[in-house]
């Protein structure tokens, strides 16, 4: 399930160009006029769609976190009808790979600019990301019921880190293989990481605490935007 729509609206076009420019040059390095020029409208015309750059940034980061969570829930419901957690996990991996390949500027934006959001928006992003992480953790534990929750959560974060490394891989044709090859590679690596959970005897880290404190701190930048 891609995070993109087939026919983007003007508002979505503005957000896409804003994400690209913010990722390339930083939030403060881009002016409203430049974003407007990228979509063929005047800078002041942007204010018919957004109150300003801060509103664009908030919608980008809150929006992608929400879309990843909603898409993940749809995949769990869709693939879950067969009662096969392996199929559900495979579907979640495919969905996140689509995000990691198609929305790389949002990953960069999340890593660099999350702290620029007002506190209420940051809290919302983190809440959505935690829910996205726990969605994956539940599926992983169904597939590997003997694995402690802390290890399952650690594996989910590790896979998010792997998949969300795409902004650092360069562009296609200049170090990064084509999209199909990159997708296949990421899929194999993600499945291999989770498969390693089946090789554990379940004792490593078994004494760790799995309470809210264990999840909260590490989930703050889960990628959802990811990392979600």
Beta bridge partners of 227: 223, 224
pLDDT tens digits, 83-139: 799 999 999 999 999 999 999 999 999 999 999 999 999 999 999 999 999 999 999
Is the pLDDT reported for residue 206 higher than 80?
no
Contact 225, 64 (CB under 8 A): yes
Angle between helices 119-143 and 212-219 (to 10 degrees): 120
What pLDDT shows up at residue 7? 65
pLDDT tens digits, 147-160: 999 999 999 999 99
Torsion angle, CA of 76/154/159/60, rounded to 10 degrees?
70
Both structure tokens of 55: 């509103």
pLDDT tens digits, 11-24: 999 999 999 999 99
pLDDT tens digits, 38-91: 999 887 888 889 999 999 999 999 999 999 999 999 999 887 556 799 999 999
> How many CA atoms lie less than 13 Å away from 227 in the CB half-sphere?
19
Distance CA 214, CA 173 (A): 40
What pLDDT shows up at residue 16? 94
Kindly state the average pLDDT of the residues 194-198: 94
Is the pLDDT reported for residue 218 higher than 70?
no
pLDDT band at 219 (very low <50, low <70, confident <90, very high): very low
């Amino acid at each position: 399930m891609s995070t993109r729509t087939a026919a983007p609206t003007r508002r979505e076009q503005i957000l896409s160009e804003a994400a690209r420019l913010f990722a390339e040059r930083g939030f403060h390095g881009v002016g409203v006029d430049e974003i407007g020029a990228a979509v063929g409208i005047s800078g002041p015309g942007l204010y018919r769609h957004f109150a300003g750059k801060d509103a664009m940034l908030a919608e980008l980061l809150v929006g992608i976190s929400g879309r990843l969570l909603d898409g993940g829930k749809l995949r769990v419901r869709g693939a879950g009808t067969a009662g096969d957690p392996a199929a559900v996990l495979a579907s979640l991996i495919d969905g996140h790979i689509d995000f990691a390949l198609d929305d790389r500027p949002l990953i960069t934006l999340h890593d660099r600019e999350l702290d620029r959001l007002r506190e209420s928006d940051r809290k919302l992003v983190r809440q959505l990301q935690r829910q996205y992480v726990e969605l994956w953790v539940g599926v992983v534990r169904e597939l590997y019921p003997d694995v402690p929750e802390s290890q399952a959560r650690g594996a989910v974060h590790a896979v998010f880190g792997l998949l969300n490394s795409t902004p650092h891989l360069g562009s296609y044709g200049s170090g990064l293989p084509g999209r199909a090859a990159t997708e296949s590679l990421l899929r194999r690596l993600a499945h291999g990481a989770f498969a390693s959970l089946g090789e554990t005897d379940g004792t490593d880290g078994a004494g760790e605490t799995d309470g809210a404190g264990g999840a909260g701190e590490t989930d703050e930048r889960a990628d959802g935007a990811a990392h979600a």
